[in-house]
Amino acid sequence: MAGSSVNPGKRHGIIALNRRRQWYGFLFVLPAFLFIFAFMLYPVVYSLYMSLHQYNYVFDPSPVFAGFDNYVKALKDPTFRRALENTIVFSFFYFVLVMAVSLVIALMLFHVRRFQSFFRTAIFMPIVVPVSLSALVFLWILQENYGLLNYLLRDVLGWTALARPWLNEGPTAMASIIGVSLWATIGFETILFLGGMQALSREMLEAAVVDGADGIRRIFYVILPNLKETYVITGIWAILHGLKVFVEPNVMTNGGPGNATLVVYQEVYYNAFNRFEMGYASAEAYILAILALAFSLLNMYVNRAKD
């Protein structure tokens, strides 16, 4: 119909208005894009470039292309291999413990009816404490001579045989670091699991009770099987946190005793900022990134295969 046609001038005005709105949207997004590019995308791409070059930024005038020599050197380096081994050991035990303990705590909170907000806050509280501060506090608690733990075991309880130099022996030093990491982060995993449980359909849970699946049976046959998406999210987070551990061993043991608690991030830091080997440190960092990607994909595959 002729009356339904839009005036050409009005159409042009609408197009111009839409274009202005698009530009306004672009301007609002631009600061975030520049931030992501400057502090995330560019460093990732440039570090990949550096990992393929030999470059000591104090003595070398410019990077020299070396191909995959830095990667081969890292895999042959006994110090890096020890750091990689320690990181994998830490990540394995941390992953198993944080997933299991946080799931149990979340189940308890899910079934608690009174003071639920108080318990959630108490569990989540360690997250707001800086990890470096937590490590310093536990460094004092675990000291051999004046630490609170040995004082409690030796002088209060009289269990002298149990008192030991917790941070000066390899196995106990690694166990101490794992324990501190659990204390500092388990609240976050617990909240993630609790959120997944609260997202479950109330009708489904009530129907399970009607069908006789109450108590333990409801947990194993209804709640746990329906947390697959939560397992993926919490699992990836735990894997990434375990592989990128740095603060706890750096503050509490400085990688010692010997190299018993040296982790990959510490080795990357030493090579980059103490020995100034930026190319070699970038290659070590990318080996860790590839490992993190592989474990994250494995976690996703395992949880999807359960479907």
**Stated pTM of the model:** 0.86
User: Where does 163-218 have alpha helices with state H?
Assistant: 170-198, 202-210, 216-218
Is CATH 3.40.47.10 the right assignment for the domain spanning 69-305? no
Burial of 84 (0-12, 13-18, 19+ CB in 10 A): buried
> What tens digit of pLDDT does each residue of 59-102 get?
888 889 999 999 999 999 999 999 999 999 999 999 999 999 99
Domain ranges of the chain: 2-36, 69-305
> What tens digit of pLDDT does each residue of 126-156 get?
888 889 999 999 999 999 888 899 999 988 8
What is the rounded distance in angstroms from the CA atom of residue 251 to the CA atom of residue 269? 14
